[in-house]
Structure 1
Amino acid sequence: MELCERFAYYGASLMFSIYLQKTLHQSKPQAVALNRVNQFMSYATTILGAVIADQWLGKFKTILIFASLYLVGLILLTISSADFSIDGGFGLAGFCISVFAFIGFGTGGIKSNVSSFMAEQIPLGYKPTKTPGVYEDSKLTIERGFRYFYWSINLGAFIGQLICPQVAKNKSYAMAFMIPAIVFFVGIIVFVAGSKRYIKKKPQGTVLTKVWRCMRYARKNKKEGQAHWLDGALGAENVEWNDEFVIGLQRSLRACKVFLFYPLYWALYNNMSDNFINQGLTMKRPGWLSVDQLNVVNSLVLVISIPIFDNFVFPLLRRCGLRMGPIARITTGFVIVVCGFIYVTVLQKIIYTKGPYYDFTGPDVP
């Protein structure tokens, strides 16, 4: 299902910037702003989806409900991009309603649950293999599962980004938006078809409220000389948490320090869906490549590199005694991203100095 959802999301959203500018006659800054609102909705609503799943419905039902909202949004987007909607002045309003009210919420509700739902399908513990005395560690299985989960995400994104812009270029935006709707509908059918095989854990209440009450209690009962400010919640009586929960929360907060760098990463990464495309409009390119397909390379590299790293690079590093933990991998990725954006910055400087873009307002290259 996630492959189909990413096909739908990236296949459709990749066209938003050009669609808003060329068909709905929005300026480049307006197109970028609307695209960023879509991205904000897609990520901000993840908290809502997580709370609903943990508190009331469970992950399976929550994914299905938000997927239905998502599908409605894709259908409305298809209708609003048809000629009769554009001619009737409904194009921009239809875009905003479908993207912000349906697709944004649908994406967020799915995103917050589907990866953890995947992990729940892997039983914890050690599983015996065919080789006597050799066991499979569920932690390593989950780690590998997430790698291929991310691989399927990028495979779906690659196919969607490859097909949809070409359909928009050679046929129409209505047909190009209809393809993600059809693919995502198929994904929902496949997801529902496997319902009886899934491990479905019952909702046990959102941990967010429990964390908040634990942190508030620790603040009120903080004492001098404590090693950690959450130690004030240790040994508490008649509360919903135990000492193990407090210690786990302390570890989680320490691990969350790495997320301080994530806003910087995403501020850079999200340029790929709008400002990179605007940059591409100012450069010469082959006739077979649509400017909004430039992101295809990103997904293609990931589709190729993930199996290579999983089957060759990481095992080779382990045999050499080099074990790259999550922090080391994230740091390496950050460095590579920064190098990439230094290159893009230099490239944009060259574009400005070559003309006709000295004043930042030159015409797009056909």
Structure 2
Amino acid sequence: MSQPTTTASSGRMPRQIPYIIANEGCERFSFYGMRNILTPFLISTLLLFLPESERTGEAKHVFHTFVIGVYFFPLLGGWLADRFFGKYNTVFWLSLVYCAGHACLALFEDNVKGFYLGLGLIALGSGGIKPLVSSFVGDQFDQTNKGKAKIVFDAFYWIINFGSFFASLLMPLFLKNYGPAVAFGIPGVMMFIATMVFWSGKKKYVHVPPSAPNPHSFSRVARTALATNGAGRTVAMVGLFGALASLLMSPQWGFVIAACTALVLLLGFVGAGISMQLERARGLHPDEAVDGVRAVLRILVVFALVTPFWSLFDQKASTWVVQANSMITTFSVFGNEFTLLPAQMQALNPLLVMLLIPFNNLVLFPLLQKIGITPTPLRRMTAGIAFSALSWLVIGTIQVSMDAGTPTSMAWQILPYALLTMGEVLVSATGLEFAYSQAPASMKGAIMALWSLAVTVGNLWVLVVNAAVKNDAVLGTIASSGVSVIAFQMYFFAAFALLAAIAFGLYAKRYKMVDHYRSIEGAKAPAAVKV
């Protein structure tokens, strides 16, 4: 007997989703709460044993080492979940490690080794679960209700910014008024609440089991492709030796640039080599396995083209704050004057995210549909990169005006913040959905980890550009252009992102979307829940 066909949008919203969304909001509050006060705490308290002239440099070193760990450990978390423990178990146990890290920060406020241990545990916990929670959201959907996944991914991104907004406003005040034990303890309590909320939904979740040992896995197909001599194998070896050479340059370049460059060389050259020789694996592995590897390599190209966006986005916490330091920070609204600190402008970003996500879903996207333009994921991401380029064109023009001696209010940064945040919503929130939907079932955790890793690569471009402008020849070229170094960099990054948007759009036209949402029988469904 035939069964009625159920469309992707007719299924109901999974009832377990609120547990995951609440967990994410609390976890993001805990993470941004401790991260936003880390540098000032290091300078003012923990590193007092150093000469004053060295504290700022050491604080930056500690901070960036911590961030590197946060964005590298997703590879470990994705691998553990995909191969051994599954997403739920990996997230739960690493969340307990995360809680232990917060406890160390609160308990060892005056002990360097204990505090650094806490940072290491948080990097492991936060980074390890980073690619898994969002992909765990996707696991709760199947072919009957996958149309509702976009709504949930947007809500997921909205709650991230909700937590970030209040953490950015409140935690510096707690550090100032109540001290580091309280200021670091509150994020720890929030992370414990996040873990308990996540655990309480255990019996309601869909649990996709880890992949069994597979003789036709991604890594084995890739090894087969490169097992024989050929141009692809040579290209892969170039990447390997290039990565080793990059690591050897650590004393000259610094560890951050050297390690990130090594990673880019490995991913780029080895991936290209595998692609060149992938057909050699056909026959030794099923066509489905070979085509799956090809799909992953195509996804990595998309991720690579997104990295320039992260170059621009993450500088709102550095380059844009530096600009704001030279602006007029007193505002007059309806006759009332108030003053903002330059760093407080960053709270505008999560606030705008919370406004723009519902605006796009309720107003902009339906309007585009009515006029015959379908806002597909790749179209949204192309537009998002272009919006980021436009924001930097505006911020660069503001800088040129300031360099000419024009007194400028910090309120002028509202426009570039709005443009950059629109870009963030179109790229980052969409990217979570895209990455999950395009990843083969056995690679979902790892693919989400590589999406997080794109942030690291994006920051590499910033480090390279900042190092380049210290070169005398480059400085001479900038001087002949008639603009300041900071304005030149702003226009450079605007052009960089614009070229990336064009390249992304061209590649998107050739990209064939696939559907890797699970089938209804593809996972262990939750037990029935009484209404």
Taking structure 1 as the reference length, the TM-score comes to 0.79
1:234 aligns with 2:282: yes
CA separation of 1:192/1:294 partners in 2, compared to 1, >3 Å: closer, same or farther? same
Structure 2 counterpart of 1:337: 388
Alpha-carbon spacing, 1:210–1:248, altered in 2? closer, same or farther (3 Å): closer
Of 31, 39, 52, which aligns to 2:67? 39
- For structure 1, which segment, 42-51 or 334-343, has the greater mean C-alpha deviation from structure 2 after superposition? 334-343
Cα gap change, 1:206 to 1:140, in 2 (>3 Å)? farther
Match of 1:130 in 2: none
Structure-1 residue corresponding to 2:303: 259
Give yes or no for contact 2:306–2:385 (8 Å, CA) kept in 1: no
The 8 Å contact of residues 217 and 289 in structure 2, kept in 1 or not, is answered as no
Counterpart in the other structure of 1:9: 31
* 1:302 maps onto 2:353 in alignment: yes
Question: Which residue pairs with 1:268 in the alignment?
Answer: 312
Q: Is 1:174–2:181 an aligned residue pair? A: yes
Change (3 A) 1:263 1:94: farther
1:114 matched residue in structure 2: 133
* Residue 40 of structure 2, aligned match among 6, 18, 26: 18
Match for residue 107 of structure 2 among 79, 92, 97: 79
CA offsets, 1:330-366, max 9 Å, x none?
Answer: 2222222233334445656777786xxx9x9xxxxxx
| Residues 1:56 and 1:264: Cα distance change in structure 2 (over 3 Å) | same
Map 1:124-203 onto structure 2 (within 5 A): 124-126=142-144, 138-203=145-210
Other-structure match for 1:133: none
Alignment match, 1:102: 121
Q: 1:20 to 1:207 in 2, by over 3 A?
A: farther
What CA deviation, in whole Å up to 9, does each residue of 1:142-170 have, x standing for no partner?
22221211111111111211211222233
Question: Partners in 2 of 1:13 and 1:67 — Cα distance?
Answer: 17
Summarize the Cα distance change of 1:209–1:108 in structure 2 as closer, same or farther, 3 Å threshold.
farther
Shift of 1:268: 3.3
Distance 1:281 1:208 in 2: 57
* CA–CA separation in structure 1 for the residues paired with 2:219 and 2:404: 53
Give percent identity, aligned residues only. 29
1:113 maps to a residue whose letter is L
Alpha-carbon deviations, 1:282-303, whole Å to 9, x = none? 5553576455433211111111
Amino acid at match of 1:313: L
Residues 32 and 274 in structure 1, CA contact (< 8 A), matched pair in contact too: no
Change (3 A) 1:351 1:161: same
Equivalent in the alignment of 2:217: 210
2:381 & 2:214 partners in 1: Cα distance?
Answer: 26
The aligned amino acid for 1:98 is G
Relative to 1, partners in 2 of residues 1:170 and 1:223: Cα closer, same or farther, differing over 3 Å? closer
Cα pair distance change 1:345/1:10, threshold 3 Å: farther
Return the offset for 1:108.
1.0
Tell me if structure 2 keeps the 8 A contact 1:11–1:157.
yes
Q: Deviations over 1:282-328 (max 9, x none)?
A: 55535764554332111111111111112221122122210122222
Deviations 1:174-232 (A, max 9, x none): 322222111111111111111111111221148899212102223446999xx964222
Aligned residues: 331
2:97 aligns with: 69
Matched position secondary structure for 1:200: coil
Distance 2:87 2:306 in 1: 26
Taking a change above 3 Å as real, the CA distance of residues 17 and 206 of structure 1, as seen in their structure-2 partners, is farther
The amino acid of 2:368's aligned partner reads L
> What is the CA–CA distance in structure 2 between the aligned matches of 1:291 and 1:348, rounded to whole Å?
15
Q: Call closer, same or farther: CA 1:159–1:174 in 2, change over 3 Å.
A: same
Counterpart Cα distance in 1 of 2:400 and 2:25: 37
The residue type equivalent to 1:46 in the other structure is P
Conservation of the 8 A alpha-carbon contact between 1:51 and 1:206: no
What TM-score do you get using the length of structure 2 for normalisation? 0.56
Shift in Å at residue 117 of structure 1?
Answer: 0.8
* CA gap 1:295/1:285 in 2 versus in 1, 3 angstroms: same
Offset of 1:29 from its aligned partner? 4.0
